[in-house]
Structure 1
Amino acid sequence: MKIKYLLMLICLVFLNACSKDDNEEASILETPVANPAKDINDNGFKAKWNYVSNSKSYLLDVSASEDFATFIPNYNAKEVTDLNEVVVGLTGGTQYFYRVRAKSDTQISDYSNVISIVTTGSSGIPEDPAFLKVKVNQLANPFFVGMAIKASQLTNGSPYDVILKNEFSSISAEYEMKMDQISTASGVYNWTTADKIVAYGNANNINVHGHALVWHNAVPQWLKDFSGTDAEFAAEVKKYITVVVTHYAGKVKSWDVVNEAVDDNGGTMRNTIFLQRMGPNYVKDCFQWARNAAIAAGDTSLLLFYNDYATSTNIAKQDKVFSIVDDLKTSNVIDGLGFQMHNTYLSPTKAQIETDLKRAVAKGLKIHVSELDIQVNQFNDISSFTNERRLAQKEKYKEMVKIYNSLPAANKYALTIWGMKDNESWIPYSTELNHPGNDWPLLYDSNFAVKSSHTGFLEGLN
């Protein structure tokens, strides 16, 4: 009896051992979690990751591209038995990416999350010196490359002038063609500055985009104080639009007729003086007056745009803008939509931008990315323009240009950068934007030197 019992016990132990081995072999390795790199220097960094139960080693990939299309030599599934690895032989001032997998005999886990690193120092690789408009004009379906300018920058031979003539095929007045700059009293107009801007564009074969006929932040004081009836107020706005469009007929190729008419909250109309005194149809009235003036002046090719901001992330606002567009389309008075794109290096996402622009494509509108700049210090968490933010900004400009360049030819109009030099941008210390500190949002630094963002723009055209 004892012998029989011992035999049964031995069999049970053997079966349990076999079952345990089988279960261990059949268990799926967990996916490791990669941690932010440590000890970053000019030539490398320390990659780190969390322990995975039952793993015997880890496979480390390091690449200069986020999709790991290529690998750094010796770092393509490099087998590591520890929970970290010192990566060496890299280039300074360059962005790299790493990921890991767990391994146990023949089993290999899924890839971990991807970690981005920027090595310290400088890569020593110069920025691409190609001129923007030259490369754009070589595309199968080119578009205008625009720049927001001030009349004071247009002195012949100045650094602004040289860059504008070499790089840009369109200009928009940053502020000097708005209503409070041109209209000094009812029926009285100051054309001096606006005429200088338009003449500069016309003389140098640079497209001129008019910005903007009606904007609630550019109402002249005399119109704010206007004591006539609402009908008389509307007549003053009509007269202004008619006179300005007529004055620049054939010289200004496109106009933002109404700017920022939609509120940021709730997808409603912004409560401006124009809404208060002209009613909810004022946008359509302004477009109709602009169209009528152009036709009367013989300018049948003038393009009319509605322009607004933050529609890629604010869906209620986006919906309201497109409801206005539908109404304008029904009346056949709108040609295009301006997307300001005062973006950050984190937002909007590629998918959000594409969704926004595709709605305009579906409606047959021309698309103007009208006021592009990309903040890198919106949280005021850096005191200098770091390599990490430099490369992140480069990628965001590249992404935006790539999205725009992929639009159908019929929907492309212009992609306009909102200012030339970082130190002259409206963004740093902006109370309107609630931006508490410095920033570096543009394509040129304070010395007119091209930045990595400029190279990113060029790479987006590839």
Structure 2
Amino acid sequence: MKNIFLLVFTGAMLFLNSCSKDDNEGANALEAPVANPAKDVNNTGFRAKWMYVSTAQSYLLDISTSADFETFLPDYNSKPVTDLNEVVVGLDGGTRYFYRVRAKRDSEISAYSNVISVVTNGVSSIPEDPTFLKVKANALQHPFFVGMAVKASQLETGSQYDVILKNEFSSISAEYEMKMNPISVASGVYNWEAADKIVAYGNDNGINVHGHALVWHVAVPDWLTNYPGTDAEFSNEVRQYITDVVTHFAGKVTSWDVVNEAVDDTGNLRNTIFLQRMGPNYINQCFQWAREAADAAGDTDLLLFYNDYATSANIPKQNKVYELVDALKASNLINGVGFQMHNTYLSPTKDQIETDINRAVSKGLKIHISELDIQVNPFNDISTFTNERRLDQKDKYKEIVKIYNAIPSANKYALTIWGMRDNESWIPYNAELNHPGNDWPLLYDSNFAIKSAHTGFLQGLD
């Protein structure tokens, strides 16, 4: 009996010791450090910091200019550090760096810490990439048009607009002057002056012209808004306008946004004068009339687009847009979808944009990123264009261009920037956006100088 007790007792002790050993080994596992925000940031360096890890003998510090650490700064690929910080010097001003750290004990190395981003002060000594956008885009295996929104007044020979457009861009869209309001003076009466100037500029200089837009609820002339005739007569006026405009520009304009922004932010048809007077089938009717006019004029290659904004993050709106697109496609009336992309440096996300665009790709439609600009001050929290926001914007332009460049060749059409200079963009002066004068959304500053966003665009083509 005594022997049995001793055997049981010994077994129990061995089991407890084993458990204790396992627990101690788990407790003594080398933890990953927690990296802290950089301190003492200046024009040429910063202090990288991290939290103490119990039992760590040293730390291994990585520093890179890319968040994925594909490359490392010289001497900062697993650099041994015995302290809880490291002063990093000899860096370039106005540049974003990333650091991470691991703990080390004998031969054991922990997992990586979180990644810290830090932007040095001052101005970068690295110049922006001056490569012309269309030159790089045209050299791609599957090229596409690089577009710019323009005003007729900018298109004077020898102006800075003229020089940049001819060097950099292979497509243009009228910012406003090819919409209904400036063209349609009265029933059957038209002012073609500004629109003709824009189209002639493109045609004379070998630049593609995209027509924007035949039907948009914001650009309805007063005579049509207050039209006294019947709904059927109203519909005939719209048909006549579409027919006359498409016919006038037949063979000169490659594509048209037929209907613009027909879906509201709740995912329903927008309650416009066209919906009220023509009914919910008005979108199909407008496309049908545009197609008939083009065919009658012999312009059988004319591309017809539906164009809208903010569909990537707004799923109800996105679904409604594709419901309209599916109906148009079933009737063989549509060639492509325009994604305006008036985005911010924070949103939509890469996944949201890709998901949205790929829905159109899967339907065999052309993709036009039609009105691209990127706000850097959506919360009105900065009064100057900081290095951080400059680089955030650069990264977002790169991301969007890279997404577009990755779609199949058959689905590519154009990627159009909505304006040339920051100070002429609609964004800083839009009351609803609430940051008057304080945004810098485009590729050129007020002095026509290229920005980091321009370099980001080019990097997206790599």
Q: TM-score band, normalised by the shorter chain?
A: over 0.9
Equivalent position of 1:139 in the other structure: 140
Q: Give CA-to-partner distance per residue, 1:111-166, whole Å, 9 cap, x none.
A: 12211111112221111111111111111111111000000000000000000011
The residue that corresponds to 2:285 in the other structure is: 285
Bigger CA drift: 283-292 or 77-86?
77-86
C-alpha distance after superposition, 1:17-73 (max 9, x if no partner): 997666433443333322221110112111122333443432221111111112112
Q: Which amino acid aligns with 1:395?
A: D
- Compute the displacement of 1:389 (Å): 1.3
Runs of 5+ consecutive residues of structure 2 not aligned to the other structure: 1-11
Q: How does 1:225-240 map to 2 (within 5 A)?
A: 225-240=226-241
Q: Which amino acid aligns with 2:376?
A: V
- Alignment match, 1:271: 271
1:337-416 matches, within 5 Å, as 337-416=337-416
User: 1:249 touches 1:297 (CA, 8 Å); kept in 2?
Assistant: yes
Partner of 2:169: 168
Residue identity in the other structure for 2:308: D
1:181-228: CA deviation from partner (whole Å, max 9, x where unpaired): 100111111111111111111111111100000000001011110111
Q: Which runs of 5+ in 1 are unaligned?
A: 1-11
Whether the 8 Å contact between 1:377 and 1:437 is mirrored in structure 2 is no
SS of corresponding position for 1:402:
helix
- Listed as ranges, the matches of 1:290-329 within 5 Å are 290-329=290-329
- 1:270-326 deviation line (CA, Å, top 9, x unaligned): 111111111111100000000000001110000000000001110111111001000
1:442-461 counterparts in 2 under 5 A? 442-461=442-461
Of 14-23 and 218-227, deviating more is 14-23
Q: State the alpha-carbon separation in 1 of the partners of residues 200 and 214 from structure 2.
A: 18
Deviations 1:65-110 (A, max 9, x none): 1111121122222233333222222222211100112333333222
Partner secondary structure for residue 447 of structure 1: coil
Query: 1:98-109 maps to which residues of 2 (within 5 A)?
Result: 98-109=99-110
CA contact (8 A) 1:245 1:290 kept: yes
Match of 1:8 in 2: none
Question: CA contact under 8 A between 1:146 and 1:417: conserved in structure 2?
Answer: yes
Distance 1:55 1:17, change over 3 A: farther
Q: Name the TM-score, length of structure 2 as normaliser.
A: 0.94
Alpha-carbon distance between aligned partners in 1 of 2:429 and 2:298, rounded to the nearest angstrom = 45
Query: After superposition, what is the alpha-carbon deviation per residue over 1:377-428, rounded to whole angstroms, capped at 9, x for unaligned?
Result: 1112222111111111111111111111111000000000000001111111
Identity of aligned pairs, percent?
75
Counterpart AA for 1:270:
R
**RMSD between superposed Cα atoms in Å:** 2.0
Residues 1:82 and 1:112: Cα distance change in structure 2 (over 3 Å): same
Q: Which residues in structure 2 correspond to 1:214-225 (within 5 Å)?
A: 214-225=215-226
CA distance in 2, matches of 1:268, 1:193: 34
CA distance in 1, matches of 2:15, 2:302: 86
Asked whether the 8 Å contact 1:44–1:86 carries over to 2, the reply is yes
Could you list the structure 1 runs, at least 4 aligned residues long, displaced by more than 4 angstroms after superposition: 12-22
Which amino acid letter does the alignment assign opposite residue 377 of structure 2? N
Amino acid of the structure 1 residue aligned with 2:314: N
CA distance in 2, matches of 1:379, 1:38: 26
Aligned residue for 2:333? Answer: 333
Contact kept, 8 Å, 1:380 with 1:437, in 2: the verdict is no
d(CA) in 1 for partners of 2:302 and 2:30?
A: 64
Which letter maps to 2:428?
Answer: P
Quick check: 2:102–2:109 contact (8 Å CA) kept in 1? yes
Question: C-alpha separation between the residues in 1 aligned to 2:147 and 2:392?
Answer: 22
- Structure 1 partner of 2:122: 121
Worse overlay, 57-66 or 280-289: 57-66
Q: Counterparts of 2:210 and 2:422 in 1: how far apart (Å)? A: 22
Equivalent position of 1:246 in the other structure: 247
CA distance in 2: counterparts of 1:435 and 1:326, whole angstroms: 38
Distance 2:361 2:49 in 1: 45
Q: Residues 446, 191 of structure 1: CA spacing in aligned structure 2 closer, same or farther, 3 A cutoff?
A: same
- Name the SS of the counterpart of 2:431 in structure 1: coil
Contact 2:380 2:434 in 1 (8 A): no
1-side partners of 2:189 and 2:142: how far apart? 42
CA pair 274-433 structure 1, distance change in 2 beyond 3 A: farther
Distance of 1:109 and 1:353 partners within structure 2: 36
Q: Distance in 2 between matches of 1:127 and 1:62?
A: 23
Whether the 8 Å contact between 1:57 and 1:104 is mirrored in structure 2 is: yes
- TM normalised by structure 1 equals 0.94
295-304 vs 28-37, which moves further: 28-37
